[in-house]
Structure 1
């Protein structure tokens, strides 16, 4: 899963480099979400956070 997210992040970075101003905000938001998702996936994999709900 992390590989797919890393590839997606690289694709978004490439898009951002070539984006016109009208698209830039949307791509930046997608990039931020993808980065956050990657952090969570890595934390879950490493056992830093528990993926189960607390109840």
Structure 2
């Protein structure tokens, strides 16, 4: 999953470099969401957070 997410991040970064101003905010928001998802996955793999519910 992380490989696909990292590929998606790279694609968004490339799009961000050559997009028109109208699309820039949307692509930036998608990029920030993808970075956040990747951070959660990495934190779970490293044991910093648990993916199980607290109850």
Q: What range is the shorter-chain TM-score in?
A: over 0.9
Which structure has more relative contact order (CA 8 Å, sep 6+)? It is: 1
Structure 1: gaps spanning 5 or more residues: none
Q: Which runs of 5+ in 2 are unaligned?
A: none
Q: TM-score, normalised by structure 2?
A: 0.96
Q: TM-score, with normalisation over the residues of structure 1?
A: 0.96
Q: CA RMSD in A?
A: 0.5
